[in-house]
Structure 1
Amino acid sequence: MSNINPTFSQLLRDPTLLLAFGFGSGLAPKAPGTFGTLAAIPFWWLMQDLSPFWYLGIVFITGVVGCYLCGSAAKKMGVHDHGGIVWDEMVGYWLTMFMAPAGWAWALYGFVLFRLFDIAKPPPIGWVDRRVQGGVGIMLDDILAAVYASLLLQLTAWLIGA
């Protein structure tokens, strides 16, 4: 496969691409990272009541698996970090929402914070994005964006007593 966008039928035939492209959300013609993050919300909604141990365990496993998925998909697409690869955004959102207060307002706030840090790439996120290659590089900048977003989300929750 070349660096063109796959079709949904191609994703269905390749489980690695299906997952890396966020079950098809990465095929969005505009802002695929945003659509990939949106696709993560229903999964978060199902995970939010898990104990911190199980929640973080799932995020850790999906992050490790994501290194393989994103790296493999990038090779198949012929592009280091193809815009349609959004598994990293999904894991990043889940990490952002670790221990977040319940409710749709918090889900939206976490979404906005994560997208802000993922797009703006403040140091060292931008450095990592430019220099760390492969699946680890694709995942790592989103994990760092999630750490920034999560810290701000938790600080906000603490300040307002949520």
Structure 2
Amino acid sequence: MRMIATVFGVGLLRPAPGTWGSLAALPLAYGLLVLGGFWLLALCTVAAFFLGVAATRDVTRDQPDHDPSYIVIDEVVGQWISLFPVGYGAMMMQVSVDRLWPGWIAAFVLFRLFDISKPWLVGWADRRNDALGVMLDDVIAGGFAALGVIGLAAFAHLVLM
């Protein structure tokens, strides 16, 4: 379970293991999108969420810290959620996900911003102090980032072009 929680050791990288976890999520998401498109990414995100809850619960059992920095499976799940508009947009436009490269950058930056600053519901989930809260704060941060990606895409297409 420790390998899942640390995403095969990525969470042990220093400094900023959460950022390393988010960076590791990008090529994994790219591979999933190339292999099976948006729906494979969505399915793997759901699976990773439930595996992440179980792994986090197992790794933190009987420990005072409910969310040690080396657990980064939550960052992977949140980062993947932030990329949903990119994968879905590529599928709907029938183009390669490479063509939506600005969305990749926006998803990464916005997810890290929401994950680090923990506004509103993100902070609420983080304060749960349990394995579900560890995963949920990143799910919510990923959702906020996805909304930001959609907003930035709309701005780029409707205002700038």
Structure 1 length-normalised TM: 0.82
1:92 equivalent to 2:78? Answer: yes
In the aligned structure 2, how far is the partner of 1:42 from the partner of 1:139? 20
1:105 equivalent to 2:91? Answer: no
Name the count of aligned residue pairs.
146
Contact 2:79–2:142 (8 Å) recurs in 1:
yes
Distance verdict in 2 for CA 1:18–1:156, change over 3 Å: same
In the aligned structure 1, how far is the partner of 2:85 from the partner of 2:32? 11
In the aligned structure 2, how far is the partner of 1:52 from the partner of 1:44? 9
Give the superposition deviation at 1:78: 5.0
Give the superposition deviation at 1:146: 0.3
In the aligned structure 1, how far is the partner of 2:24 from the partner of 2:37? 22
Look up the SS of the partner of 1:161 in the other structure: helix
Q: Hey, what does 1:66 align to over in structure 2?
A: 52
Stretches of structure 2 that go unaligned for 5 or more consecutive residues are: 91-96
In the aligned structure 2, how far is the partner of 1:26 from the partner of 1:45? 20
In the aligned structure 2, how far is the partner of 1:75 from the partner of 1:158? 44
Q: Hey, what does 1:138 align to over in structure 2?
A: 134
Stretches of structure 1 that go unaligned for 5 or more consecutive residues are: 1-15
Which string of whole-angstrom CA distances, capped at 9 and with x for unpartnered residues, describes residues 104-159 of structure 1? 432222111100000011102112211x2322111000000000000000111122
Q: Hey, what does 1:156 align to over in structure 2?
A: 152
Q: What's the Cα RMSD here?
A: 1.8
Give the superposition deviation at 1:88: 0.2
Contact 1:71–1:138 (8 Å) recurs in 2:
no
In the aligned structure 2, how far is the partner of 1:145 from the partner of 1:78? 24
Give the superposition deviation at 1:99: 2.9
- Higher share in helix: 2
In the aligned structure 2, how far is the partner of 1:24 from the partner of 1:74? 16
Give the superposition deviation at 1:77: 5.6
Identity of aligned residues (%): 34
Q: In structure 1, what residue type is equivalent to 2:5?
A: A
1:29 equivalent to 2:24? Answer: no
Q: In structure 2, what residue type is equivalent to 1:71?
A: R
